[in-house]
């Protein structure tokens, strides 16, 4: 995947066809869209700290997306749009929880306590250490690293999701990679 | 673990992990990794990170999520002749739209008719002014003169008489066209002769615009019956 694709990929074309089928009244197209993107959304949510409410978060993301699917122009990919919605939902929940608990601000310096939702049991030692390293990243680094490494998104797509520039997304990724390497050293 | 100085290749390593690189680009990255220990280590780290961050994720129930989604804009009905409420509502709006447009047209026609009636009344007033002649106009106090604080001056009487006289002289060809708007006060200021003339004018006015409502009403009836 490059940062400057010449046109919509196969995934985007399939999504567009499914969206059109759903707009025409085919509810099964919605099920196919959920099946295509729900696992990635669940991974993203889990890696950003969601625990028991992963499915609820994924469902809310799809409900929000389908509620405004008429307004979806296809300027970005459906996957990018879904990640953007889920991220906002997750941040909204974080803010609500934070207000209730009256805890620290969302400034990225408390990443270890904020994003500590990865499973405790990981069989392979390297993977466990990698997860520990990722947990210690700042929230933004963790978002960018997860989207780039786990989902394979381009910097352009990541920038759209996290609301930054392509260059900033690249910097966040390399800083995250450097931090992970230092932790593993 | 150190960083390879080739930032371009390092940028593409996640894409190599996901198999999203095109053939030539993929070959270029793979050949670099084959000779670069730093990139090979980073590639291994990326693969481990991908596995680590993809495991232990709770499974989601696709069917349950899909069942919670809103209905499509045009829900497919399995029963012939039966459409969704949303579809029925849209079709009804489409049918209703021309009817509202018709009402707007009817309202516009009524406004035009009302305007035409007003103009007719004003023209009739001018005609009456011409008919009653210089005396009637002269005896009706002008608001302009009244505001000056006294009875009409000789000059103002002369002007009014001149206007009325010229209108009377032209009455045979274009009655009331040159009379101008009357500046007289209310009905209570008119004498008996002027009132009789005014009532006669009003009788004629009542008959004059009868053709316009007749032209409007059938259209209103036709629109309303849609």
CB contact under 8 A, A55 and B3: no
pLDDT at B173: 44
Residue B176 vs residue B64, higher pLDDT: B64
pLDDT of residue A144: 96
Name residues whose C-beta falls within 8 Å of residue A5's C-beta, 6 or more positions apart in sequence: A154
What the block records as the tokens of A128 is: 């466990």
* Shortest CA distance from B49: residue in chain A: A130
Mean pLDDT score, B159-169: 43
Round to whole Å and give the CA distance between B21 and B28. Answer: 10
**pLDDT interval class at A122 (50, 70, 90):** very low
pLDDT number for residue B88: 52
Q: Cα separations (Å) of B86 from A21, A167, B76, B89?
A: 17, 45, 11, 5
Q: What is the pLDDT of residues A16-29, one digit of tens each?
A: 899 989 888 888 99
Predicted local distance difference test score (pLDDT) of residue B186: 65
- Quote the percentage of chain A above a pLDDT of 70: 82
- Residue of chain B minimizing CA distance to A24: B74
CA A139 to each of CA A43, A81, A96, A180, B44: distance values in angstroms, whole numbers, following the listed order:
15, 19, 17, 14, 24
Nearest to A127 among B51, B58, B63 (CB): B51
- Return the pLDDT at B151: 42
Asked if A122 lies within 8 A of B21 by C-beta distance, the reply is: no
Which tens digit of pLDDT belongs to each residue from B170-206? 444 444 444 444 445 566 677 788 877 877 777 666 5
* B223: pLDDT strictly greater than 60: no
Question: What is the residue-averaged pLDDT of chain A?
Answer: 82
User: Nearest CA of chain A to the CA of B19: how many Å?
Assistant: 8
From the list B14, B62, B73, which residue is nearest A38 (CB)? B62
Q: Give me the residues of B, 28-67, that contact A with CB < 8 A.
A: 42, 45-46, 48-66
> Is there a contact between B193 and B136 (Cβ–Cβ < 8 Å)?
yes
Give the nearest partner residue to B75 out of A1, A25, A119, using CB atoms: A25
Q: Is A134 in Cβ contact with B52 (below 8 Å)? A: yes
Cβ–Cβ gap A24/B74 under 8 Å: yes
Q: Is the dihedral of CA A105, A144, A90, A8 positive or negative?
A: positive
Whole-complex ipTM: 0.75
- pLDDT score at B210: 47
Residue with more model confidence, A90 or B163:
A90
The Cα of A50 is separated from the nearest Cα of chain B by a number of Å equal to 10
Shortest distance between the Cα of A21 and any Cα of chain B, in A, equals: 9
Inspect the interface and report whether the beta carbons of B50 and A55 lie closer than 8 Å: no
* pTM summary value: 0.55
CB contact under 8 Å between A25 and B46, yes or no, is no
Beta carbons within 10 angstroms of residue A143's beta carbon: 26
Interface test with A, best of B17, B43, B52 (most A CBs within 10 A): B52
Mean local confidence (pLDDT), A93-121: 54
DSSP string over B205-225: HHHGGGHHHHHHHHHHHHHHT
Rounded distance, CA B10 to CA B17, Å? 12
pLDDT score at A94: 80
């Amino acid at each position: 995947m490059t940062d400057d694709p010449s046109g919509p990929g196969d995934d985007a074309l399939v999504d567009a066809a499914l969206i059109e089928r759903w707009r025409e009244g085919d509810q099964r197209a919605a099920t196919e869209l959920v099946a295509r993107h729900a696992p990635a959304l669940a991974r993203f949510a889990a890696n950003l700290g969601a625990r028991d409410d992963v499915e609820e978060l994924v469902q809310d993301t799809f409900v929000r997306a389908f509620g405004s699917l008429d307004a979806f122009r296809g300027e970005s990919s459906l996957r990018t749009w879904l990640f953007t919605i889920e991220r906002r939902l997750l941040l909204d929940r974080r803010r609500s929880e934070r207000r209730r608990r009256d805890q620290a601000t969302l400034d990225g310096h408390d990443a270890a306590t904020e994003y500590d939702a990865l499973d405790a049991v990981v069989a392979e030692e390297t993977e466990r250490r990698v997860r520990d390293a990722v947990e210690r990243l700042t929230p933004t680094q963790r978002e960018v690293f997860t989207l780039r490494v786990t989902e394979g998104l381009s910097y352009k797509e990541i920038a759209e999701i996290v609301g930054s520039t392509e260059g900033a997304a690249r910097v966040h990724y390399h800083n995250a990679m450097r931090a992970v390497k230092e932790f593993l050293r | 673990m150190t960083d390879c100085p080739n930032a371009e290749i390092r940028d593409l390593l996640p894409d190599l992990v996901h198999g999203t690189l095109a053939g030539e680009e993929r070959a270029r990255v793979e050949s670099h990794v084959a000779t670069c220990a730093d990139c090979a280590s980073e590639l291994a780290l990326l693969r481990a990170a991908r596995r680590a961050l993809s495991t232990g994720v709770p499974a989601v129930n696709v069917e349950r999520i899909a069942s919670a989604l809103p209905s499509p804009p045009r829900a497919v009905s399995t029963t012939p002749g039966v459409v969704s409420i949303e579809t029925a509502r849209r079709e009804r709006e489409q049918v209703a739209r021309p009817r509202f447009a018709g009402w707007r047209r009817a309202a516009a026609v009524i406004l035009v008719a009302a305007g035409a009636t007003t103009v007719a009344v004003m023209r009739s007033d001018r005609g009456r002014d011409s008919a009653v002649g210089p005396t009637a106009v002269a005896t009706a106090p002008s608001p302009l003169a009244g505001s000056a604080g006294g009875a009409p001056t000789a000059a103002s009487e002369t002007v009014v008489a001149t206007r009325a006289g010229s209108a009377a002289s032209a009455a045979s060809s274009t009655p009331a066209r040159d009379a101008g708007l009357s500046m007289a006060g209310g009905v209570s200021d008119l004498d008996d002769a002027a009132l009789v003339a005014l009532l006669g004018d009003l009788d004629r006015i009542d008959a004059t615009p009868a053709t316009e409502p007749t032209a409007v009403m059938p259209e209103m009836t036709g629109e309303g019956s849609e």
